[in-house]
Structures are given as structure tokens and as C-alpha cells.
Amino acid sequence: MSELSMSDSNLTSDSSSTSKAEATVDSAYRISSDEAVSCQRDSTGDADPDLGWIYPKDTAKDEKIHVSVRLRPLSKKEIADNHYSIWECPDDKTVVCLHSRPDRSNFPQSYVFDQVFRAETTTKEVYKKGARDVVLSALTGKNATIFAYGQTSSGKTYTMNGVTDSAADDIFNYIKQHNDYIFLLKFSALEIYNEVVSDLLRPEGGPLRIMDDRERGMVIEKLKEEIIKDKSHLRSLLEVCEAHRQVGETALNDMSSRSHQIIRLTIESSPRAMADEGPMKSLIAALNFVDLAGSERVSLTHSEGTTLKEGCYINRSLLTLSTVIRKLSDPNRPKTAHIPYRESKLTRILSNALGGNARTAIICTMSSSNKHLEQTRNSLFFASYAKEVTNKAQVNVVISDKELIKQLKKEVALLEAQLRRSSLSSQSSYDALLQEKDEQIKRMQEEMGKAFQQRDSARSELLSFRKQVEELERGRIQVPNKLADQVEDSLPSFRVGNSTTEANGYYQNGHMRRSTSEMRLKTGNLQRPWNDVHVQVPQKTTNSASAILLDEIYKLEHLQNELAQDANRALEAVQKEVECLCLTQTDMNQEAAMTVSKLQSEISSIYESRATGASIKGTVVPIENISYSLKDDIERAASKDLSKVSDADTIEKMLTQMQIKTHGFQFPARLPSQGEETGHRETDIINPQQAFHYVTTPAQAEESIRSVYAYVTDMKERISKLQYQKQLLVQRVLELEKNADEDTAGISLPAPTSPESWKSEFHEKRKQIFELWNACNVSLIHRSQFYLLFRGDPADAIYLEVELRRLSWLKEHHVLTNTNKTHLRGSDQISSPASSMRIIKKERESIVKNLYTRLTATEREEIYREWDIPLDSKQRRVRLANMVWTDHQNEMHVEMSAKLVAKVVALWNGSGPVSKEMFQLSLSPATQQKTRFPWSPITSLFRLGSA
């Protein structure tokens, strides 16, 4: 059982129904042109089967329902009953009422329609002029509906039977003429009797339900649909329907139709060429022939009982139809106005024909009898409204499921073929890619083989190199005190004079400029076998041992030099005082005079012993003539000779005695301060005559002696500190020499590494340095400058290595030092932990002060925000200063601290003039410093003291 969709908007679903219908018959039958009668394709043939599933709606045209009126002649019975005709047709579009009734003067007498058929007009003519055009629309894909409307016995059935026959003839003629198309005709029929829908082909099926399907629209459930084999088949089907239709006898009609009948022909057509090629686009349309039950008046039909009931249903449904038509005919109705299609099954089923996707022709039948004037006028009113209703029919194009399946199969086959071709292509591409990868792997393997060879070669070279180093180190062991010799021979500029200044170009800007061996050759003073061996040692290895020691000794010698200058000034001052005493005190007692004389002698002996073989006037002393040396110091240190009392102690004792014995003597008012101009040449001994004017009173002299005493005491303390440092360094030198062979690799400078490994190594070492800085309370300025200066350049490796070793050594020996150059020159060069912390405290205080003096308010606010310090908090600067360099494990904190200190205290931002040499790893030429006396390093003082 199939379903018949009455909705034009779901013709695809209808196609599905069609397929089901085909399955219900023995064989699907397509009408060929050979079986069709001749028919001309008329003006409605605007279908284009190539346009798609359904024509765009804008191709549909608005069209009024075609309305025609057909007058029925008076029947014999009416004539017998003295009926007379009161309607006339002056032309084929106008019908005029000849009977005038004053009480109904408001009724029009004349009505105009699309077509008016006089009583003598044949049904064929009625069809031809009133329905054919619409009927043939169905052959071109447009839905079409022809229905007859009129009072009972007005000739509706008479007319529609003729119209259907004529339409069938036309349809078959059309099919015959269009051999290039294949047509499919399907037949279905229903009636609405007392608002019950029945299948006229299968009335035993009972009432049919009208369904609203979301996809297919309105559907008559289980309505049988037959494929029409030919015209006679159609006629037979029509006869079946006629036989099944509800007919009753009324006073007006012996064979009165008591139901609304709807005969549907579904016409599907498709070009034969397309069918042969496979994909099938079809035109499909529903052609409805509607024979309504006639409106009737009970007074006229004398109906009662069943007939009366039928009449009520009929009138009610016709009333709904009239309402629908009337509403649809209103030109001012809103598009959203409600149309009561659902108030009757008739209007619901015919909704498409009434203002929808269909062409519609209404043939209004009327009796010309004067007895039916009122009913006729009502029919004309209805017809008048109907002709104002606008439909919008469109060509329906559909593709059948079977054809769709065929098309999809064909497309699938096509896609599969493309896929196979693509797969083959992909396979070939994949093979090519594999081949390319294989070649690439082969090339990489070859390159790896070469790399392995290079690696092996490098390994053998490295082994050979290590062997040479080991041989070299063994050679070094055979030379007594060789390390000390090396250190001494490599000593840079702190020899008096300029003979070694060239050797100081050892490192410059972090890059190795000249090897120790080169430096040694430049000095050219010590030509020993060791020297020759040293020249042949690779640069890196040669530097490794000596560089560390050189650095330490460099620092020590530098301090010695500075301290020597201070000592010079102190002794010079003492000498002046003593000379003044001699010249100005006439009443000096004998004992005091002897003391002074002895003091002068001691001072002279100091000069003499210090300047053995050299001029005391400060002339340049050839280095080869200098009797003292670090080597001697080291040897003395090794023999525990460092505890000798220095000459400063002797002077101190003598001054103390003099102070006691010369009470009342006159002394110089004051000592000349360090660096103060005295009017003498730096290297001259003061002329006693020139010191005359210093003499004042004995009290002043006593005060002067106390000043000298204090000054010498201070000198003594400083010398003691240097002694201590010296002792540590000497021990370190001895330790390094002892472990030279065992720990060659340990004192080597870091070997060049790859950029990646260097990067990680750099960060690791710097992290260790951070910790050591913190542990050793290293100056904040030093930390900051070091951090900002060494940012990871591979050339920084030496600086990091030395800094790390220096700090490790300091920590190990619990000697806390601050290596900032500023402090290096001060008297606190060797500090206790407490003093180091004091330095840091001073630096923090400096930060507090400089934050205010060196930065603008805006800059300070920016820094507070950066350090997350509220701008309105009290002691902001103190808080900030106390935060700096307190979290050495936090890289960001370290970065911020370094930049802040550099900006606020050091006035250096990391890119300024501060060089890496400031960290005492460079042996760049030292500034030539003239001394008041040709002071030797402090080590010579030690020797004097021990002498």
C-alpha cells in the first residue's frame, strides 16, 4: 500500500511513494510516445529539466484561478415544472440575470468571468476553454486542479466527467507527441463523505487519515495509487471510482453526489536521453479533478434523515471552502493571515490548489432555472471571489530514488576510480619519498662515518697531547722549586722599572693575547732549560698552572707596592721629626741625644739594607740585581721564618723611648699628611734646615711624637695583615706545587666546550659564584659589576673560573675578602667577616643615600614598583637597600639587584667603561708609580726584620 502526497512541496517524498507504488504493481509501466496520441506542447511548456531538483521559486508566476461559468439547460422535468431560464450570456465572459427582484436590488445582475459557457456549449468546449490549459500544465511539471462548483443538480458531475475524459485524451496525445520523454502516470481517487476520507479504488479500506508529514507535507495515508497503463486503463479506473462514489437520490437529482470526489493523476516525465545516460531528473505534477458535492437547500431537496445529514456536511464543507476562497481573494489580507484550510477535509486536501503551488481552474455550474436563482447567485458570488484568488505554481523537478541510487552508484564508482588513481599516485609518491629518505639516511650515515673518523682522530690527538703534557709535568718535577721559579719568572710589572711591562698584555678584554711562554721570551731575562721546555708547552696548559698563581701574586705584589708607598711616607715623616729634634733642641740631655742619634742610625740602616746595590735616591734598579725575591720569601715561609719582627717594631720602640725621654722637647707641629705637598722632590731626603720652622713647643713635640707613634702603629697593623695574607698565599703556592702533578687537570683552565654545554656550564658556575658571594659577604658592588660584565660570552670562562676558585679558596680558609678594586687599595683589603659585613652595610647606606640624590622621583617610583614596595610606605629606600642582593638563588632578584646597585651606587650599567681587567685577571701594563723611596715589595721588609 502506498501513500499519496498531496503536497507539491514534498515531491521528492512523492517519488519515494512512487517507488513504493511501483512495487505494489506487477510491473512498472512507463508510457512511451508510441502509445500516446498526438498532442502539441503548448505555452505552458516552460520546464527545463536541467535546472535542478526544483525550480527556483522566483520562476513561478502569480496567477489567478481560472474561473468559468457553465449554464446548464433546463431539464425536461424543470420545463415540465414551469421553470424558465432567467440567465443570459451576452458574451463568452458575462452572465446576466434577467430576473429582477426589487427586494434584492443590491445583488448584481451581471457577472463577468474568465469564461462563460452557454447552455448549449458542449463539454469538450468547456474543457478546451475552461480546463485544458491548466490540465496540460501537469505535463510540464506544474500541479493542476480542475474542480466544479455549483448547487446540486447544476451539472458538476456531468461537466467533470467530460473534462476528465477530454483531459485523458489530451494527456495521452501529449505523451504520444513527445517521444523524447518518458512519462509515468499514476492514478488515485478519494472521496470525502460526511467528512470521512475514503479510497475510491479500495473503499473497503475504510477511512483514510490525513497526515501532516514534516518532510512530505499533507499525506493521505494508505491511499492506493495505480500506475496507468493506457487510456482505457484510466477509463476503467474512473469507472471504478464512479461505481464506488456515494450517490443518493434527492428531490433535485436522482443521482446526487453525496460526497466530494478527488481524482488524482500524478504525471512524471523525464527526458529519454537522460534516462539512457543514467541520472534521471523528472518533472512531476499532480493533476486533480475535483467534483464537489452540490450545495443544497433542504427546502428544495426535501432531504431528511441521512440525506439531510449529508447535506449538512456538504454545506458545511462548502461553507469552509467559500470562506477560504473569500479570504484568499482579499487583496488587502496580510500574508500571515489565517486561512482556515483545516476546518474541513476538503479545503485541507485542496489547500495547494487554493492559493498555493498549483494552477487551478474552477468551473462553476449553474442552472438557468428561475427556481434556483438564490443558489445560483451564491454560486456566482463564490465564483466571483474565486477568480480573485492568486496561485503560484512552479515546475517541480525531482529525481527518483532508483535513479538517485543509480546516480549515486555511478558517482561512487567514479570516486572509487579517482581514489584508486589517487592511491596509486600516493603510493608512487610514497615510494619516491621512501627512496629519498633512504638516500638521506645513507648520506647521514656517510657523514656520521666521517664524523666518527674525525672523532677518533681527535681522540688520538688528545691522547697524544695529554701524553706530552704528562711528559712535560714529569719534566717539571725534576726541576727544584720549579713552580716558584715559574711564578717568579713570570712576574709582571711589579719589578722596579719597566723591563717587564710588556708581559702584562696577557689578557685583554677577556681574550688571551699572549701566552706565558711568549711573555717569558719577551722579558728575555731568564734563559734556563725550564724556559725552553715552557715555550714548547701548548699555550693552554702552560697558562693553567701559572695563571692562578700569577693572579694571586699579582694582587699581593700590588698591595705590597701600595703599602710600601705608605711606609715610605711614614718613615720620611719620622726622619723629618728626628732631624728637627737634632737641630732645634739646644738643651736636649745626653740620653735623649743618644736616642735620637740611634734612631737616625736605625733609619739609615733601614735605607741601606733595603737598597743593597742600588741608589737610595730612587734610580731604576735592574731586575737582575735585585737580591730579594718572592722565591726567597717562599723559601723563608717554608722555613717558618715569617714571624720575624719587622723594622717597624724597632722604630716603634725607639719612638716610645724618645717620647718618654724628650719630655719638653719641641717637635714638629704635625706630620705631613699622605700625599701632601712638602715642597721637596719626592726622592730627596729632607734637608734639616728646611724643617726648622716646624719646631714649636715641647708639648707640641710630644703630640707630634704621639702622632708618629699612632701612625707607625697603624703601619704595623697593616703590615701584619699583609704578613698574614702573605703567609696564606705562600702556603697556597706550596700546596699547588705539591699537587701540581696530581691535580694538573684541576688547575687547568676550562677546556673549550660546545656552545650548548658552555651555556649550561656558565649558568652552573655563576650559580656557584652567587652562593659563594653570599657566603663570603662579598661587596655588593663587586657582585653587581661582575654579574653585569660577564654575561655568558665563552671568553668569560677564565673570569668565571678564577672567580669561582678565588671564592672557594676564601671560603675554605675562612678568609673573607672584598676584591673590589676600590677596597683593594684601602686598608681593609683583608677583612674579618665583621668588617666585610660592615662594608656591605656601608654599601646599603650608600644605596639609601644615592637613591635620593642620583635618581629622580619618577625613577625611584619605577624602581619601587619593580621591587613591589608600596610607594607610600615608610622607609622605602631603606627597605629597598636591605632587599638588594639578599636572594642569591633567585636569578631575577640577582639581575634586579645588580642593575640597581650599578645604577645607584656604581654609576655603571654594564656597558660602560668598566673593563674586565678590573677583576685583576688581566696583566695589562700597570701604571708606573713613582715611590718616594725605591721601596721593594713588603717581603723585603720581612727580610730586614729578620736580619
Ligand X SMILES: Nc1ncnc2c1ncn2[C@@H]1O[C@H](COP(=O)(O)OP(=O)(O)OP(=O)(O)O)[C@@H](O)[C@H]1O
In the block, residue with C-alpha cell 476562497: 325
Which residue lies nearer to ligand X by CB, 125 or 602?
125
CB of 152 to ligand X, least distance (A): 4
Interface residue with ligand X among 5, 17, 157, 493 (CB under 6 A) is 157
Record the cell numbers describing residue 184, joined without a space. 509515468
- CA distances (Å), 611 to each of 472, 628, 702, in order? 38, 10, 32
Contact pattern for ligand X over residues 94 through 133, marking x by CB under 6 A: ----------------------------------------
CB of 294 to ligand X, least distance (A): 3
d(CA 659, CA 654): 9
SS (H, E, C) 426-447: HHHHHHHHHHHHHHHHHHHHHH
CB of 148 to ligand X, least distance (A): 7
CB of 66 to ligand X, least distance (A): 19
Residues 363-382 touching ligand X, rule: CB under 6 A, are 365
Interface residue with ligand X among 16, 68, 152, 282 (CB under 6 A) is 152
Question: What phi and psi, each to the nearest 5 degrees, are found at residue 762?
Answer: -60, -45
Mark the segment that binds ligand X (CB under 6 A) among 69-77, 498-506, 515-523, 590-598: 69-77
888: nearest Cα among 775, 760, 774, 810: 774
Interface residue with ligand X among 16, 257, 303, 836 (CB under 6 A) is 257
The response to whether 846 counts as a known ligand-binding position is: no
Which residue lies nearer to ligand X by CB, 364 or 559?
364
**Radius of gyration from C-alpha coordinates of the chain:** 64
523 conformational bin, left if phi > 0, alpha if psi -120 to 50, beta if neither: alpha
**Residue pair 371/362 in contact by the 8 Å Cβ criterion:** no
Interface residue with ligand X among 132, 142, 156, 726 (CB under 6 A) is 156
Mark the segment that binds ligand X (CB under 6 A) among 132-140, 248-256, 684-692, 826-834: 248-256
Which residue lies nearer to ligand X by CB, 150 or 492?
150
Element (H, E) at 263: strand 260-271
Residues 293-312 touching ligand X, rule: CB under 6 A, are 293-294
Alpha-helix runs per DSSP H in 194-247: 231-244
Question: What phi and psi, each to the nearest 5 degrees, are found at residue 151?
Answer: -65, 165
CB of 88 to ligand X, least distance (A): 16
List 397's β-bridge partners, or say none.
Answer: 283
CB of 203 to ligand X, least distance (A): 18
CB of 110 to ligand X, least distance (A): 22
CB of 316 to ligand X, least distance (A): 15
Mark the segment that binds ligand X (CB under 6 A) among 97-105, 145-153, 733-741, 893-901: 145-153
CB of 230 to ligand X, least distance (A): 27
The response to whether 150 counts as a known ligand-binding position is: yes
Contact pattern for ligand X over residues 208 through 247, marking x by CB under 6 A: ----------------------------------------
Record the cell numbers describing residue 875, joined without a space. 622607609
**Residue pair 10/211 in contact by the 8 Å Cβ criterion:** no
Which residue lies nearer to ligand X by CB, 126 or 353?
126
Contact pattern for ligand X over residues 277 through 296, marking x by CB under 6 A: ----------------xx--
Element (H, E) at 733: helix 698-738
**Residue pair 212/218 in contact by the 8 Å Cβ criterion:** yes
According to the binding rule CB under 6 A, does residue 72 interact with ligand X?
A: yes
The response to whether 217 counts as a known ligand-binding position is: no
Which residue lies nearer to ligand X by CB, 118 or 222?
118
CB of 256 to ligand X, least distance (A): 3
Non-local (6+) Cβ contacts of 529 within 8 A are 479
CB of 133 to ligand X, least distance (A): 21
Element (H, E) at 814: none
274: nearest Cα among 49, 55, 53: 49
The response to whether 27 counts as a known ligand-binding position is: no
Mark the segment that binds ligand X (CB under 6 A) among 251-259, 262-270, 752-760, 792-800: 251-259
# residues contacting ligand X (CB under 6 A): 18
The response to whether 157 counts as a known ligand-binding position is: yes
d(CA 4, CA 6): 6
Q: How far apart are the first and last CA of the chain?
A: 138
Helices and strands: H and E segment counts in the chain: 29, 24
Which residue lies nearer to ligand X by CB, 379 or 391?
379
Residues 915-934 touching ligand X, rule: CB under 6 A, are none
695: nearest Cα among 730, 660, 720, 670: 670
Interface residue with ligand X among 158, 607, 709, 809 (CB under 6 A) is 158
Non-local (6+) Cβ contacts of 910 within 8 A are 788, 789, 791, 898, 899, 902
CB of 52 to ligand X, least distance (A): 42
Contact pattern for ligand X over residues 878 through 917, marking x by CB under 6 A: ----------------------------------------
| Half-sphere exposure for 471 (CA within 13 Å, toward CB) | 10
698-738 vs 539-584: helix axis angle to the nearest 10? 160
**Residue pair 24/370 in contact by the 8 Å Cβ criterion:** no
Residues that bind ligand X (CB under 6 A): 72-73, 75, 150, 152-158, 253, 255-257, 293-294, 365
Residues at the binding site for ATP are 150-157
Annotated binding site: 150-157
